[in-house]
Amino acid sequence: MSQIAFSNAVTELFGTRLPIVAGGLMWLADADYVAAASRAGIIGFLTAASFPEPRALRDEIRRCRDLCEGGPFGVNVSMLPKLVPGEKTREVFELIVDEGVRFVETSGRNPQEFMPFLKQAGVKVLHKVPAVRFAIKAASIGVDAVAIVGAECGGHPGLDMVGSFVNAAWAESQLDIPYLVGGGIGRGSQLAAALTMGASGVVVGTRFVVAEEIWAHDDYKYRLVDAGPTDTDLCMQSVRNTVRTLRNETTAAVKEIEARNPNVTIQDLMPLVAGKIGRDAYVTGDWSKGLLAAGQSLAFVDRVEPLADIVRRFESDMWQALTRLANNCSGFVDAARGVPA
Ligand SMILES: Cc1cc2nc3c(=O)[nH]c(=O)nc-3n(C[C@H](O)[C@H](O)[C@H](O)COP(=O)(O)O)c2cc1C
């Protein structure tokens, strides 16, 4: 089944075999991971914020290009308000263009001010948002595609907290550009469902974190394998920066502070939530501390294996789902093809 050629707006946009995007992963999405995605027939995004020094980012882009051997790859530029000053963001985009990168995944804030520059350089923009209303805005400023992540997602689900199943079907009537959905996606059957609802692809984070090519410590990866969909916590709603992360000592402490003091500030929480603590957890494998983004698709995280194997299983699961649809509902399929039942 998996040899059947597949083509739609997302595979054509990125030049991939499958309409699956491996979204940016802070600290984790490096050249090895992104190149593994490229070889597996999908597209991954190097996470620019993980390489704060311009020289380091440039070197990583070059390493990625070499490893991809002509295959597609992109750079994620997360523009969380306040945390990343505008000047630095412009510098990052300039570097990306200078290096001839063809695709960016933007998130955190609208890339409107950078669109003319990116368009002129021929860079294709996938903007990732946590709600359909932001996707509508993104479409109006000329991005090439949008990814809408739902409440289930690892990382930042936004404030609306609408689920991915609703987003997938709702966006179809709201958007006239290709859209992907993400949040809780870890099986090919979900990709098949998203496609039937009108999406052109899916964006995946949590499911891919246990890939062998991810450099993080095995103790952390095996914790993700053991964990299930109820092992995440939502924190930082009180500072309007909600994150879904693996439940641990830090999430308990943060939730406790937020419950006690609704006026808590991000600065108050910083000693617990600083990104460096998360990075240390990836290095040492001690997952008990730090906000370690992870979503409800932990349900599907069942072993540590090469990314290509995860993608292969994803793909065969997608075909199985479509076969199930054809076999169990053949009347519908014939009707859809215009064949009289
Ligand atoms: C460990 C981890 C780190 C992430 N870091 C980023 C990031 O730096 N920038 C970004 O735009 N998205 C980031 N995300 C979000 C993913 O790119 C993707 O949108 C999300 O994980 C999809 O939901 P899922 O986790 O349910 O698959 C991260 C997700 C995870 C799990």
Output the pLDDT for position 248: 98
> Which residue among 206, 231, 245, 296 has the greatest number of ligand 1 atoms within 8 angstroms of its CB, and so is best to mutate?
206
Tens of pLDDT, residues 67-106:
999 999 999 999 876 555 556 899 999 999 999 999 999 9
Amino acid at 195: L
Number of domains, the chain: 2
Closest protein CA for atom 6 of ligand 1? 25
Segment 277-303, tens digit of pLDDT: 999 999 999 999 999 999 999 999 999
Could you list the residue range(s) of the whole structural domain that residue 207 is in?
9-213+305-322
CA 206 to centroid of ligand 1, rounded, Å: 7
Q: Which of 79, 42, 59 is nearest to 205 (CA)?
A: 42
Phi, psi of 278 (to 5 degrees): -65, -45
Query: What is the CATH classification number for the domain harbouring 107?
Result: 3.20.20.70
- Tell me, yes or no, whether 115 lies in a domain: yes
Task: Quickly tell me which residue has 């500072």 as its tokens.
Answer: 239
Q: How far is the C-alpha of 28 from the C-alpha of 31, rounded, in Å?
A: 9
For ligand 1, is residue 322 a contact (CB within 6 Å)? Answer: no
Q: Which atom of ligand 1 is nearest to the CA of 50?
A: 8
Rounded Cα–Cα distance for residues 110 and 208 (Å): 26
**194 CA to centre of ligand 1 in angstroms:** 19
311 lines ligand 1 (CB under 6 A): no
26 lines ligand 1 (CB under 6 A): yes
On whether both 194 and 118 belong to a single domain, the answer is: yes
- Is residue 239 predicted with pLDDT exceeding 60? yes
Task: Identify whether residues 115 and 263 lie together within a single domain.
Answer: no
**Same domain? 75 vs 207:** yes
